[in-house]
Amino acid sequence: MPKLDRRIAKSQEAIKRALIELMTEKSFDSITIQDLSDRANVNRGTIYLHYQDKFDLLDKIMEEHINNMSIFCESASEMNYIESTVHCMEYFEKNFLFFSTMLASEGASYFRSRFLQFNIEEFRKDVDITKEKNAGQIEDVIVEFIANAYVGVVEYWLKNKMPYPPRVMAEKVGELLERII
């Protein structure tokens, strides 16, 4: 894979950051390419050089984070729930602006759906209905319950500006996951 020119990477990062910042100030629908250009301090043509439109830009940002989380989950598969959740919470903390904006923004409900679907797929790998504590349960119900609870807790934590450190939050969430899975 060819190395990405640092100027290109810098422009793309500025454009992505500009969109997320603007989404904290106004609705996605009211953001224009000119707004993005002004905030990122790039020409409109630079934006169109890298993205078809603001929808393509938002989609690429969401895909990037979902892919990063997928890679992370693969590397954390050997950890217990508490340790792997610590890494997840630290990732959310590091990318607070993105996740808090995406989960709080009415215009980004698509991201919440993608985030939920991602978690459903990940938790499905861990649910074992043959365990005694899951006797009589339906796998889909357990998976939906866990994934929705997890996304809800992450939303709560981010919307409230992370009232607990990532490790504390992760330990509590990890303990709950261990009870269920």
Residue with the larger pLDDT of the pair 152 and 131: 152
d(Cα 115, Cα 102) in Å, to the nearest integer?
10
Instruction: Tell me how far apart the alpha carbons of residues 131 and 170 are, in angstroms, rounded to a whole number.
Output: 24
End-to-end CA distance of the chain: 39
Query: What's the token pair of residue 121?
Result: 């797929």
Fold of 1-51: Arc Repressor Mutant, subunit A (1.10.10)
pLDDT tens across 94-134, in order?
Answer: 999 999 998 877 656 788 899 999 999 999 988 888 888 88
Q: What angle do CA 144, 147, 151 make, to 5 degrees?
A: 135
* Residue 144 CB-half CA count within 13 A: 5
Q: What is the pLDDT of residue 80?
A: 80
Domain with CATH 1.10.10.60 in the chain: 1-51
Q: Supply the pLDDT for residue 42.
A: 97
Average confidence score pLDDT of the chain: 90
Q: Where in the chain is the domain with CATH 1.10.357.10?
A: 59-180
- Choose among 74, 93, 99, 94: nearest CA to 84: 74
What's the pLDDT score for residue 1?
A: 54
Per-residue model confidence (pLDDT) at position 146: 95
pLDDT at 140: 95
Cβ-contact 177, 143 below 8 angstroms: no
Structural contact between residues 69 and 150, judged by C-beta atoms closer than 8 angstroms? no
d(CA 165, CA 40): 31
Q: CA nearest 112: which of 126, 95, 98, 91? A: 98
Interval 55-102: pLDDT, tens: 999 999 999 999 998 887 777 777 787 888 888 899 999 999 999 998
pLDDT reported for residue 139: 93
Percent of the chain at pLDDT > 70 equals: 96
What is the pTM for the complete model shown?
0.83
Fold of 59-180: Tetracycline Repressor; domain 2 (1.10.357)
pLDDT at 181 over 90: no
